[in-house]
Amino acid sequence: MSIHEKVEQYHDDVIRVRRHIHQNPELSQQEYETCAYLQNELTKAGIPFQVTPSGRSIVATIKGAHPGKTICLRGDIDALPIEEATGLPFSSCKKGIMHACGHDAHGAMALGTALILNDMKEQLHGTAKIIFQEAEETMFGALHVLESGLIDDCDNSLMLHVVVDRDTGVFVTNYGVRCAKVGSCKIRINGRAGHSSRPEQGINPILIAAKIISAMADITAYELPRSEYVVFSPTVIRGGTKDNIIPGTCEIEANARYFDDKYDEFLSRRITEISENIARAMGGSAEVTFIPEGTPMINDKESTDRAISIIKRLWGEDKVVMTPPGLFGDDFAFIQKRFPGVVVNLGAAKDGQYTIGHNEHMMVDEACLDIGVEFLTTYIAEYLGASES
């Protein structure tokens, strides 16, 4: 039976698993029920696995009948703190939590790939390790898996991430740097509380925050060459309790994206200088924390060549779109740094109904699941020297 026929055989299982995970989302570092559900699915299929010390990630192992290399596939499984508004019949049953980044699809495709590879064990020259990973959204889940030692023997790595701004079945990738490093920023502004009718007696930290946010835009607009990709986005502002009270403190959270480690120091220094000086000039003070997280993903040439060749052979040359690096981040970069490999994105927008990730209306066209499973299984089978029966 061919891989394509195997994909059809397990189609209903992949859909069922995806819908269950979607309907029962869990936030980063809380994926205990999802982990238990996937363990049950693996057990039913007779696929051996180990759970990481956290109890929230799984590494399933499909050992081929012949010696060879070891490859790992990462499928993330955590959800986001978003109230779902898709109207799907299998919408999230947990208030304020939603799979709005496609990790439900990733987990289901990883399982489907494991099921098919398990049936192909006699043909495999080497081992496939299928990772069901916690906490991608915190940028540290992959580190927990690496620290467990369960994938220390890998030689190659593979990841697929759905995107809902591309048509279903279109693959997006590139050679070299694929995605950005992430910097997490928190700024605490200290002012002086007072009554809104007597603003001169207080020091309004919200006004200070507004000026800091405005000034931050000047860093990327005027202090960096146009050729550099650096984004700084304020994403949270928190302060105040009532409209007639000037609060004593205010907090800003922001997110930076960039491709070069040199911006760790630059952004930390400039954000601190701007925040402290503006706050001081307005009579307050500012405390800045800037934490670089993650590392850029870099697509290995040999692995990318293999991925592109498979896509063109199975679905046609027009299904591969090469793009510049993106400013998204993913902790798979830590795995890829240890074990060279490739990351591809798979379009999952149905009938041109494009949405965006991390949004309450984000929907994945389930037709992408079979395509993703076939690609992942074919890549791993070819890496492990299998030939279709």
Q: What is the CATH number of the domain that holds 244?
A: 3.30.70.360
| Same domain (yes/no): 185, 170 | no
Domain holding 358: CATH number? Answer: 3.40.630.10
Task: Say how far apart CA 351 and CA 329 lie, in whole Å.
Answer: 27
Q: What is the pLDDT of residues 199-233, one digit of tens each?
A: 999 999 999 999 999 999 899 889 988 778 899 99
Task: Say how far apart CA 326 and CA 75 lie, in whole Å.
Answer: 20
| Same domain (yes/no): 322, 370 | yes
Number of structural domains found in the chain: 2
DSSP letter for 224, please.
S
φ/ψ of residue 213, rounded to 5: -60, -45
Residue 388 in domain:
no
- How many contiguous H segments (helices) and E segments (strands) does the chain have? 10, 16
Considering the entire predicted model, what is its pTM? 0.88
Please, are residues 352 and 155 in contact by the beta-carbon 8 Å criterion? no
| Same domain (yes/no): 307, 263 | no
| Same domain (yes/no): 193, 166 | no
pLDDT of residue 5: 98
Of 220, 215, 247, 242, the closest CA to residue 231 belongs to: 220
The mean pLDDT of 310-338, rounded to a whole number, is 95
DSSP letter for 124, please.
-
Beta bridge partners of 171: 320, 346
pLDDT of residue 226: 78
Q: What is the pLDDT of residues 1-44, one digit of tens each?
A: 899 999 999 999 999 999 999 999 999 999 999 999 999 999 99
| % of the chain with per-residue pLDDT over 70 | 99
| Same domain (yes/no): 280, 310 | no
Annotate 225-277 with DSSP letters as a single string: -TTS-EEEEEEEEE--SSTTEE-SEEEEEEEEEES-TTHHHHHHHHHHHHHHH
Residue 21 in domain:
yes
pLDDT of residue 353: 86
| Same domain (yes/no): 273, 300 | no
Residue 389 in domain:
no
| Same domain (yes/no): 146, 199 | no
| Same domain (yes/no): 285, 374 | no
The mean pLDDT of 79-99, rounded to a whole number, is 97
DSSP letter for 28, please.
T
Task: Say how far apart CA 121 and CA 131 lie, in whole Å.
Answer: 18
Q: Token digits for 9? A: 């055989």
Task: Say how far apart CA 264 and CA 260 lie, in whole Å.
Answer: 8
| Same domain (yes/no): 160, 174 | yes
φ/ψ of residue 245, rounded to 5: -120, 125
Task: Say how far apart CA 380 and CA 125 lie, in whole Å.
Answer: 10
Annotate 265-326 with DSSP letters as a single string: HHHHHHHHHHHHHHHHHTT-EEEEEEEEE----EE-HHHHHHHHHHHHHHH-GGGEEE---B
**Whole-angstrom Cα Rg for the chain:** 23
Q: Could you list the residue range(s) of the whole structural domain that residue 203 is in?
A: 181-293
- pLDDT for residue 389 is more than 50: no
DSSP letter for 200, please.
G
Q: Which of these three, 243, 258, 293, is where a domain ends?
A: 293
